[in-house]
Structure 1
Amino acid sequence: MKKLCLVLFVCCNISAYAQKQDYPIQPLAFTQVKLADHFWASRIETNRTVTIPASFERCKSTGRIKNFEMAAEGKGKFCTVYPFDDTDIYKTIEGASYSLAVHPDRQLDAYLDSLITVVGKAQEADGYLYTYRTIDPIHPGGAAGPERWMKENENSHELYCAGHMYEGAAAHFMATGKRNFLNIALKNADLLVQTFGPGKRAVAPGHEIVEMGLVRLYRITGKKEYLDLAKFFIDQRGKKAYNKKSKNVWENGTYYQDDKPVINQDEAEGHAVRAMYLYAGMADVAALTGDKQYLAAIDKIWDNMVGKKMYVQGSIGAVGDGERFGANYELPNATAYNETCAAIGSVFWNQRMFLLHGDSKYIDVLEKVLYNGLISGVGLDGKSFFYTNAMQIQDHFTHPDIERERSGWFVCSCCPTNVARLIPSIPGYIYAQNGKDVFVNLFISGTGSLKVNNKALQITQQNNYPWDGGLAFIINPASAMEMNLKIRIPGWAQNQAVPSDLYSYQQPLNKKVEIKVNGKPVEYQMEHGYAVISKKWKKGDKVEMTLPMDVQRVMASEKLPDDAGRVALQRGPLMYAAEWTDNGGKAANIIIPKNTAFTTQYEAGLLNGVTVLKAEVKAINVDTAKQTVSTENKTLTAIPYYAWANRGKGEMMVWFPEEVKFVDIISR
């Protein structure tokens, strides 16, 4: 395999074409970070050895690959369900390419080449690539319409497929140096440039991501037409004639984030995955063009999402009808939707917001999503998944559409393949820099190799996060250097459950985080959530920091009626849940009175190793024979939310009442 000196990272790919304007803060590529921890390294390895191979096999067995083969031959019938099924192959190629970048594998490399050959043969002469139409362009599926792009602003997903193709092609090129997939993507992108733009065809893509993909290609090629087209697509939003007065989100355009121009939008709205990709694309374009109106809009939208539309474990997209955001404070537990893809999109967007602003609050949200509402979407086996991520499973009250157990695949399998491409890139979220400012955002053991003022620098983290709050950082510059080390002090360690008043801690802690350099306590300045240590660093300097890992009782804003009188449990970055299998077969009957004392215990043999919470609590007991209802003492065992549903099907709860105030009588 050809080896490249590469910067490969989900958000910013710095190519040979230097951009004059870009994100003020640049991330350290995941290829420059070598992990030495168990928590993430094991997940990345499982993704490499289980998730990616399983995704390819399922793409084959379900007919997704066959669609490309039929398109190449120009005969047959589209044999899967959704017009965007092509993207499952693109996303898996992307994840496999990230894996190849740090773990060479000749067999995988050759398989990707063979798959890319199949994809290339399906491409039409002018660059068009969309198997849903190409197989039989005279009689395409109903989602496509009689002509190309006629239904793009609805459900054809032609540009969505193109966007994921660009993302996959960029990853493959930068991992291998080969242009076979990249050339396919560039030919398609050139067709879009010829077709869309001022004085040409205009459309607001129905499902965003082509904007992010075009930026990826711009970074590789320096071809400004790709960046211009990304901005053009974004600026088309709000121009279609919808019935603005209708309360139907499809009729008024909010489902597609198309009800008004993006610069006038101030709420997270519509389909949550589409929204995340749009806002991430806006951040990319704003960084590269300096568009301040975009910045103002996404700042307002972010405040709205984090302040009014995010679940306590970081998930978004509460409403199942349309996989979308609801109204402000519409965060029901029994019917929570919380698509895994939306969590992945939130990570993309929050990373970009940090790169724009340098504020730790964006990484606080990113961390909450990453450790909770995102990895809950993939089973510990690496091949079972949740499309949605429930907030409660209660035998008699759970909505029938809420998933109770994981599936190996879905008819719409956007989430499993999205997980496959996200997991390998996680080391790229740990470090970032701006000149001599070096940011430490996530706490994951391993070594990052940076350059500060063209001088080599290694930072080695030693910790057992997220189970333990003791953190150590070994600083190894090639020679003594001046540097501002900026270590994030998580909001949860500063009495802030989230960067808004949506959730708060019942009993705030007043513990200042102590930092030592070479064994001696140091005074540090706080800037935007970062402890800043400025000095001339020399080889072997050691920074130590201990984060408080107390069990915190989280309360919701009074504007969230479903959570009134209830508490959720948090320790470090992790939210906790009670699951049936640890609690006598039930979890929905647990009451956690005020002043309950918790103990913690690490159990290496449970769920690949987790710290559990234990406490003496109350439980409601219904004796059907005697027709009595009473409370009894019970030992609660709570596990990290991400680990639920790995041991069978049963009840699960995140929010627990503090006392019994009344009992509903239901006869079933």
Structure 2
Amino acid sequence: MKKLFVLTSAFFLTFQIQAQQVKRHFEPVNFSKVNITDAFWKPKMEKVATATLQACIFQTEEKTGRIRNFEKTARKQGEKHEGIYYDDSDVYKALEAIAYSLKNKPDAALEKKADDWIDKIAAAQEPDGYLSTYYSLTDLSKRWTDMGMHEAYMGGHLIEAGVAYFDATGKRKLLDVATKWANHFDSLFGPNKRHWVTGHQELELALIKLYRITQDKKYVTLAHWLLEERGHGHGKGYIWDDWKDPAYAQDFVPVKDQKEITGHAVRAMYLYTGAADVAALTGDQAYMNAMKTVWQDVVFRNMYITGGIGASGRNEGFGLDYDLPNEQAYCETCASVGMVFWNQRMNLLTGESQYVDVLERSLYNGALDGLSLSGDHFFYGNPLASQGTHERREWFGTACCPSNIARLVASLGDYIYGNSDEAIWVNLFVESETNLPLTAGAVNLRQKTAYPWEGAVELSVSPEKQQKFALHLRIPGWAENSAAPGNLYDFTAEPTQKVTVLVNGNSVAFDRKSGYAVIERTWKKGDVVTFTLPMEVRTVKSRPELTYNQQRVAIQRGPLVYCVEGVDNGGQAWNFIMAPNPKFTINSFMVDQEPVMNIKSDAIRFRASNDGTEVVSEKATITAIPYYSWCNRGKTPMQVWLPTKVTDLKINNK
């Protein structure tokens, strides 16, 4: 029986000022306060600032009608809308990526281009604050009549772009447009107003960002209300009509009662990111309990070894537990980006490193695979096997992924460090420098590392004055004996090396807490922490329920999952089995001008005899490369999960 909830503004505001049961353990250090000098990530950030953003600008402004739609809307001459009804969102995501990039790498021409776009967006906004070029150019009377038409989704990305651009440049124009839009939405929807269920979640997390910059609590109230709207039968529109299943949009039960992952993967990630943000501000433990349960369902039963999620192309999302095909894997790039967002919030709320383990896995593998090494070609889906039919593309009809991966890479600094009043957290190992404000005084932290190729991390800790605080260093699960949280994936053997921690060259006692090495001491200028992670090559097996991986192993070194690609193996990647107890060697290698570490391994290769009458086996050496770097040298066969028995081989006479 459905329950009718009458939720008032007073209820929400009262809830917000209750003593918090849930609160963040620490706050992330904003990307703008982190100077990244890393040999792995800085070139990628520079590629995004140039090649990726130029591709986004070219496609958005010249090749497609996205910017023209704003120009047409402003002219009000009855011109025809071009493209898809949700295309405005790609403009906003590109602007957000530009904002992060401008902070990292100032560029007057790029900033002028962004300002020009913002002028056109502002000119297209309706007097009451509404903004959707599709409805403005087709029939404005139909706005807010179909919850599946992405109006709120586009508004969320508008807000994120406005906040980011203001943070990067200090310019308010886009933020003012976004605020006017949010106030328009708030005038129509919320407690004691019209019902609205966002068909594609995004607005929930964006409203919290708007609150953090404006300190206007009505945006928290509105975000909370949007979460509470779900699961009560309020959803209306083509998504609900076409799918006949509210689980597609995570609308099947109230968010607080959800226990399993369902439906469209990107929508789910944005929903739970928003729920975590709301929980942090309202102190609502029920959201936290639900998210932990759903997270376990994702990571323990529905996540690929690459951190990719959403196996099914039919619904761009989740299917049956453990049904994770490799060649048919959908694994949308945007879903892996969403995994980074959600797992960061879960880490902040719990202080547990397992969430960063998943974040790192998705970042270095599932998400980064979506961006070519040249920065101007992309994957929408990210399979774990190919017979040479896949290739990267310049653009897509639905072009959410290029700008999404661009904004993630450009904002990488958001995910490296955190601090509370009296402690510091180091989550990712990226060469960089930042200043952290603690109660007793600021601390300069400088990180040197060649990660992910090498495991040595040197941290120079220089407080402005001698002071006591705790330094939390994440010990990645992969550095010990956890291929991934839960037991969906396990290493086939125990590690032979151990994590070591030294302070000023001496062994130091430390506590282990929630997956971190915690060093609490009185620090002084010039203190140096040496943190060494074992970077041995290890093979991974999966649970037997993952039938596609039976009698197969994957190769992992550090945070990187590897694959075998035909271009390095005589054009073939399906005609061998791994040798028993293989020996691995690590070598410097170039993939399309990208320096990587490849891994060579013993194998047994099968081929047809010269006369084609029998199958011949022979000893061979195979070469594996990081998964994120595959398909940058043309179409080629590829596999992540490598057979250990003679099954599913593709044999020819090469």
Say if 2:606 and 2:651, in contact at 8 Å, map to a contact too: no
- Report if the CA contact (8 A) 1:333-1:562 is conserved: yes
- Match of 2:594, SS? coil
The residue aligned with 1:535 is: 521
Q: 1:608 aligns with which of 594, 598, 602?
A: 594
Paired residue type of 2:411: S
Partner of 1:491: 477
**One-letter code of the match for 1:343?**
S
1:163 aligns with 2:163: no
1:449 aligned to 2:435? yes
Tell me, in whole angstroms, the C-alpha distance in 2 between the residues paired with 1:264 and 1:20.
22
Stretches of structure 1 lacking an aligned partner (at least 5 in a row)? 1-17, 139-145, 396-402
- Does the CA-based 8 Å contact 1:593-1:659 persist in structure 2? no
Shift of 1:97: 0.8
Amino acid in structure 2 at the alignment position of 1:150 = T
1:436 aligns with 2:437: no
- 1:515-555 deviations in whole A, cap 9, x for unaligned? 11111111211101100111111111111121111111100
Q: Which of 130, 135, 146 is 1:151 aligned to? A: 146
State yes or no: 1:55 paired with 2:56. Answer: yes
In the TM superposition, 1:164-183 aligns within 5 A as 164-183=157-176
CA distance in 1, matches of 2:506, 2:323: 48
Cα pair 1:249 1:255 within 8 Å, conserved: no
2:99 is matched with 97
RMSD: 2.1
Counterpart contact for 1:74–1:136, Cα < 8 Å: no
Per-residue CA deviations over 1:592-623 (Å, capped at 9, x if unaligned) read 12301101012257641000000221122134
Q: Quick one: which amino acid aligns to residue 214 of structure 1?
A: L
- 3-state DSSP of counterpart to 1:609: strand
**2:146 is aligned with what amino acid?**
K
1:239 aligns with 2:255: no
2:564 is aligned with 1:578:
yes
Q: Is the 8 A contact 2:60 2:91 kept in 1?
A: yes
Amino acid corresponding to residue 501 of structure 2 in structure 1: I
Per the TM alignment, residue 662 of structure 1 is displaced from its structure 2 partner at its CA by: 7.6
Aligned equivalent of 2:318: 325
Q: Give the structure 1 partner of residue 384 of structure 2.
A: 391
For the Cα contact (< 8 Å) 1:116–1:181, is it kept in 2? yes
Cα shift at 1:89: 0.7
Letter in 2 for 1:554: V
TM-score norm. by structure 1 comes to 0.91
Number of the residue aligned with 2:125: 123
Written as runs of structure 1 = structure 2, the 5 A alignment for 1:620-659 is 620-623=606-609, 625-659=611-645
Any residues of structure 2 matched to 1:463-542 within 5 Å, and which? 463-542=449-528
Q: Does structure 1 residue 275 correspond to structure 2 residue 302? A: no
String of CA shifts for 1:390-442, please: whole Å, max 9, x gaps.
110025xxxxxxx7110011111100011121111101211101222211111
Distance, in Å, in 2 between the alignment partners of 1:475 and 1:88 is 41
Q: What's the secondary structure of 2:213's corresponding residue?
A: helix
Gaps of 5+ in 2: 1-16
C-alpha contact (below 8 Å) 2:81/2:138 kept by paired residues: no
Contact 1:242 1:252 in 2 (8 A): no
Which whole-Å deviations, capped at 9, do the CAs of 1:156-204 have from their partners, x for residues lacking one?
Answer: 1000000000000011111111111111111111111110012211011
State whether residues 78 and 137 of structure 2, in contact with CA within 8 Å, keep that contact through their aligned partners in structure 1: yes
Contact 1:170 1:217 in 2 (8 A): yes
Query: Residue 287 in 1 paired to residue 280 in 2?
Result: yes
* Deviations 1:559-607 (CA, angstroms, capped at 9, x unpaired): 1000010000000000000111000001011211230110101225764
Aligned in 2, Cα 1:454/1:524: closer, same or farther, shift over 3 Å? closer
- Displacement, 1:241? 7.0
Contact 1:242 1:259 in 2 (8 A): no
CA distance in structure 1 between the aligned counterparts of 2:448 and 2:175, rounded to whole angstroms: 38
| CA–CA distance in structure 1, aligned partners of residues 77 and 629 of structure 2 | 45
1:205 CA drift (Å): 0.4
In structure 1, the partner of 2:354 is 361
User: How far 1:330 sits from its partner (Å)?
Assistant: 1.2
- Distance in 1 (CA, whole Å) between partners of 2:218 and 2:477 is 41
Question: Which region of structure 1 is more displaced relative to structure 2, 374-383 or 471-480?
Answer: 471-480
Name the residue aligned to 2:257: 264
Q: Match for 1:193 among 183, 186, 211?
A: 186
Contact in 2 for aligned 1:75/1:135 (Cα 8 Å): no
One-letter amino acid of the counterpart of residue 147, structure 1: K
TM-score (norm 2): 0.93
The alpha-carbon distance between structure 1 residues 232 and 321, as it changes in their structure 2 partners (threshold 3 A), is same
Question: CA–CA distance in 2 between the matches of 1:248 and 1:114?
Answer: 39
1:292-348 deviation digits (Å, cap 9, x = unpaired): 111110010101100000001110010000101111111111210000000001100
> Which residue of the partner structure matches residue 576 of structure 2?
590
Q: Distance in 2 between matches of 1:390 and 1:570?
A: 17
Tell me, what secondary structure is at the counterpart of 2:447? strand
Work out whether residues 457 and 532 of structure 2, in 8 Å CA contact, stay in contact via their aligned partners in 1. Answer: yes
1:108, 1:513 → 2: CA distance?
44
- In the TM superposition, residue 81 of structure 1 has moved relative to its aligned partner by 2.9
In structure 1, the residue matched to 2:11 is none
**Kindly tell me: are residues 518 and 202 of structure 1, through their superposed partners in 2, closer, same or farther at Cα, counting changes over 3 Å?**
same
Distance 1:490 1:260 in 2: 35
Partner of 1:86: 88
Q: CA deviation at 1:40?
A: 0.4
Are the counterparts in 1 of residues 346 and 355 from structure 2 also a CA contact under 8 Å? yes
1:309-324 pair list within 5 angstroms? 309-324=302-317
**Other-structure match for 2:555:** 569
Which position in structure 1 is the counterpart of 2:536?
550
Instruction: Tell me if structure 1 keeps the 8 A contact 2:66–2:83.
Output: no
Contact 1:331–1:560, Cα closer than 8 Å, also in 2: yes
Alpha-carbon deviations, 1:431-481, whole Å to 9, x = none?
A: 101222211111111212111115121111111100011111111111111
Aligned to 1:110: 112
Partner SS state of residue 69, structure 2:
helix
Q: Deviations over 1:245-283 (max 9, x none)?
A: xx9992121111011111111111110000000000000
Which residue of 1 is the match for residue 413 of structure 2?
A: 427
- 3-state SS of 1:316 partner: coil
Give the paired residue count: 630
Distance 1:377 1:84, change over 3 A: same
**1:127-142 maps to which residues of 2 (within 5 A)?**
127-137=129-139
Matches of 1:554 and 1:41, distance apart in 2: 30
State the AA in 2 paired with 1:367: E
* Greater CA drift, 446-455 or 612-621: 446-455
Give aligned-pair identity as a percent: 43
The secondary structure found in structure 1 opposite 2:410 is: helix
Task: State the SS of the aligned residue for 2:85.
Answer: coil
Name the SS for the 2:261 alignment partner.
Answer: coil
Contact 2:81 / 2:134 at 8 angstroms: preserved in 1? no
Question: What secondary structure sits across from 1:507 in the alignment?
Answer: coil
In 2, distance between residues paired with 1:284 and 1:389?
28
> Per-residue displacement from partner, 1:44-90 (whole Å, max 9, x unpaired)?
11111111122112101211000111111223454433211001110
Change (3 A) 1:661 1:406: closer
CA contact (8 A) 1:431 1:441 kept: yes
The Cα of 1:239 is off from its aligned counterpart by: 1.4
Contact 1:616 1:634 in 2 (8 A): yes
Q: Which moved more, 1:274-283 or 1:464-473?
A: 464-473
* CA gap 1:546/1:101 in 2 versus in 1, 3 angstroms: same
Distance in structure 2 (CA, Å) of the matches to 1:43 and 1:282: 31
Deviations along 1:607-660, one digit per CA (max 9) or x if unpaired, are: 410000002211221348423223222210000000001001010000011121
